[in-house]
Chains A and B, each alone.
Chain A
Amino acid sequence: MTALLDQAPAAPAAGDRRPPRRRPRRGRRVALPYLLLLPALVLELLVHLVPMAVGVWMSFRKLTQFYIRNWSAAPHAGFDNYRVMLDFDSAVGRNLLHSFGVTVAFTVLSVGAAWLLGTAAAVLMQSRFRGRGPLRAFFLVPYALPMYAAVITWAFMLQRDTGMVNGLLGRDGPDAPFWLIGGNSFWSLVVVSVWRTWPFAFLIVMAGLQNIPRDLYEAAALDGAGWWRQFRTITQPMLRPVNQVLLLVLFLWTFNDFNTPYVLFGESAPREASLISIHIYQSSFVTWNFGLGSAMSVLLLLFLLLVTAAYLAVTSRRRRIHA
């Protein structure tokens, strides 16, 4: 993402560097890039942008079960939907706020852990050792596993009486902990999410490491720098651009994750693990109140846009200073 954002003003793309040349058919030259973009543009409009705009439109309507059959006639609601959920004294507003808090905590923990594990594994596997290839392949399996298969297996393992987790911990009988309800359900969700995403972080960091020229390390070794100093002075700074993108992508995926909690807990997640995506699903699809659900989604989107813009602004500035 940053490649595009940063590079455009600073380093002009290829076309500019070419000396101006007379071309016989200029009209076609001008139209060509647009023609190349056309299929992508049409699809983005069809699947993302227009539905998105319709969603925003819905958030200003009273779109309940009484109107879904003829949804274009749903009455105007003005800002009512927004008012209801932003009234934090009411149950709706309080629950939304709670769910938002849970989601933020979940995202921070899950992204942090996935990134840490991915980086640790990638760095420790930088140098050759016996069995490195097979181990690397093994680590990537969770990423390649179909989502449903992976999460349902975890749900199976996390059952209190018959699950592998309690078996592993040697906890059974009346004191055995629950993992799918109550406070522990939050940690279950984090662990399952990390299990599914850390291989992706591993993959990306691994690719980033291969980009670091070997001679940098050799030169540092000649200067007498030890392993730790090489890691601090070469590996870390060279990985910074990779991390900038990786963390953002992981953040967006994790924050919007619907599939993991839905398969793990079903339609009603425990309060402690009620992620915002599930919360919105309950407020719209389960209760057929699409106006309110859309309004919640719009707020969520605004939040994500804000965070992303701020993140890019901060990290890009830091990059420029460091560079």
Chain B
Amino acid sequence: MREPRWVGWARRLVLGVLALFTGLPLYAMAASAVKPLGDVQRDWRWIPSTITFRPFADIWTTIPLGRYFLNSLVVSGAATALSVAIAILAAYAISRFRFPGRRVFSITVLSTQMFPGILFLLPLFLIFVNIGNATGVALYGSRLGLVLTYLTFSLPFAIWMLAGYFDSIPKELDEAALVDGTGPVGALLRVVVPAATPGIVAVAIYSFMTAWGEVLFASVMTDSNTRTLAVGLQEYSTEVQVYWNQVMAASLIVSVPIVAGFLLLQRFLVAGLTAGAVK
């Protein structure tokens, strides 16, 4: 497509401003992470007068950052894996079968996206406690409870995205497999799932990000052993001291692997969205 001159200028201007907007907080984070505590508490300076890497050593002892990081990885990872698996089954049912209740199910599940978290936080907590009392399965305070909660948070969107993606895969493919004598589940696993890889990766990224950042439920449903990063990072600020440089250093450290993973996989996200949900 040939562009007029002004589009080029508009591009430089808009993208430049956006890059600045995106970059400034990232710079603030990086610059503050290498300043001594006293300097972070003083007037803002663009270039650190003293550079120190002490904060990167201190962050591990001020709070049990390693444990929180591990908890977050385990919880988000498990929630993602389960969410994707369950969404694949449900999306397959919705995409390939006509059955009574199909629409009720879809609408009900999607409308849960509207529920204000604050409304069902306390009830969910009470239900977990009661299940624990009745069956001995510890859901409150455990990673399992958090996994179940988070996987359900991303489930509606995941089912909907995957159902859209499955629709875009020609039905002739799985029909061929059915004719060969494979069952419908076999057709799903051997034909549909491999063909839908970009969509599945997209859903996995979405599920992971949903679980990774959640604060409200984690603050009520975890204890100091099962605490996740999103809540744990707050412990750098106590009544009498706010370790700003350590907050920034820790934020930087925990963000790097996630951002890197996200950027590596983002082309799948675009591809998955392109073929699936966005249709």
CB–CB under 8 A between A and B in the complex? Answer: yes
Contact segment of A80-88, A89-97, A180-188, A289-297? A289-297
Contact segment of B48-56, B57-65, B159-167? B159-167
Chain B, residue nearest A167 (CB): B44
Per-residue CB contact flags for chain A residues 92-118 toward chain B (1 = under 8 Å, else 0) read: 000000000000000000000000010
A252 at the interface (CB under 8 A from B): yes
Chain A, residue nearest B261 (CB): A144
* A47-B149, A203-B273 known, 17 other contacts, Cβ within 8 Å: A3-B163, A4-B94, A13-B96, A13-B167, A14-B95, A15-B98, A18-B175, A54-B126, A124-B15, A129-B11, A144-B262, A147-B230, A162-B42, A204-B278, A241-B279, A258-B215, A277-B117
**A206–B270 alpha-carbon span in the complex (Å):** 7
**A50–B108 alpha-carbon span in the complex (Å):** 12
B interface size (C-beta, 8 A): 111
Residues A55 and B44 in contact, CB atoms below 8 Å apart: no
Chain A, residue nearest B87 (CB): A40
Q: For residue A35, give the distance in angstroms from its CB to the closest CB of chain B.
A: 8
**A140–B264 alpha-carbon span in the complex (Å):** 11
A262 at the interface (CB under 8 A from B): yes
Q: Which chain B residues have a beta carbon within 8 Å of chain A's beta carbons? A: 1-4, 7, 10-11, 14-15, 18-19, 21-26, 28-29, 32, 40-46, 86-87, 89-90, 92-99, 101-103, 105-120, 122-124, 126-127, 148-149, 151-153, 155-157, 159-160, 163-164, 167, 171, 175, 184, 209, 212-216, 229-231, 233-234, 244, 247-248, 250-252, 254-255, 258-259, 262-263, 266, 269-271, 273-274, 277-279
Residues B171 and A17 in contact, CB atoms below 8 Å apart: yes
Per-residue CB contact flags for chain A residues 153-192 toward chain B (1 = under 8 Å, else 0) read: 1101100011110111000100000000000000000000
Residues of chain A contacted by B15 (CB below 8 angstroms): 121, 124-125, 135
- A16's contact among B2, B98, B278, by CB below 8 Å, is which? B98
Could you tell me the dominant secondary structure of chain B's interface residues? helix
With a 10 A CB-CB cut-off, give which of A18, A48, A135 has the most chain B CB atoms. Answer: A48
Could you tell me the dominant secondary structure of chain A's interface residues? helix
Q: For residue B117, give the distance in angstroms from its CB to the closest CB of chain A.
A: 6
Report if A195-B21 is in contact (Cβ < 8 Å); known contacts: A40-B159, A153-B28, A305-B111.
yes
**A19–B46 alpha-carbon span in the complex (Å):** 70
Report if A13-B98 is in contact (Cβ < 8 Å); known contacts: A55-B120, A58-B123.
yes
Number of interchain pairs (Cβ within 8 Å): 319
For the complex of A and B, 7 pairs with smallest distance between CB atoms = A149-B251, A297-B119, A147-B213, A54-B123, A207-B273, A51-B120, A47-B152
Residues A48 and B112 in contact, CB atoms below 8 Å apart: yes
- A221's contact among B2, B87, B93, B233, by CB below 8 Å, is which? B2
Residues of chain A contacted by B148 (CB below 8 angstroms): 43, 46-47
A242 at the interface (CB under 8 A from B): yes
**A280–B191 alpha-carbon span in the complex (Å):** 48
Chain B, residue nearest A141 (CB): B259
Q: For residue A123, give the distance in angstroms from its CB to the closest CB of chain B.
A: 9
**A11–B21 alpha-carbon span in the complex (Å):** 44
Residues B86 and A142 in contact, CB atoms below 8 Å apart: no
Q: For residue B44, give the distance in angstroms from its CB to the closest CB of chain A.
A: 4
Q: Which chain A residues have a beta carbon within 8 Å of chain B's beta carbons? A: 1, 3-5, 7-8, 12-18, 30, 32-34, 36-37, 39-41, 43-44, 46-52, 54-55, 58, 71, 117, 120-121, 124-127, 129, 135-150, 152-154, 156-157, 161-164, 166-168, 172, 195, 199, 203-204, 206-208, 210-211, 217, 221, 226-228, 230, 241-242, 245, 249, 252, 256, 258-259, 262-263, 277, 280-281, 284-285, 290, 293-294, 297-298, 300-301, 304-305, 308
A-B contact pairs, 15 of them (CB 8 A): A3-B163, A13-B167, A14-B171, A32-B97, A33-B93, A36-B97, A39-B90, A48-B152, A144-B262, A161-B43, A166-B44, A208-B274, A242-B278, A293-B118, A305-B114
- A49's contact among B86, B112, B271, by CB below 8 Å, is which? B112
With a 10 A CB-CB cut-off, give which of A46, A146, A242, A301 has the most chain B CB atoms. Answer: A146
Residues B234 and A230 in contact, CB atoms below 8 Å apart: no
Residues A277 and B118 in contact, CB atoms below 8 Å apart: yes
Residues of chain A contacted by B118 (CB below 8 angstroms): 258, 277, 280-281, 284-285, 293, 297
Residues A226 and B86 in contact, CB atoms below 8 Å apart: no
Residues B96 and A14 in contact, CB atoms below 8 Å apart: yes
Report if A135-B19 is in contact (Cβ < 8 Å); known contacts: A147-B215, A258-B118.
yes
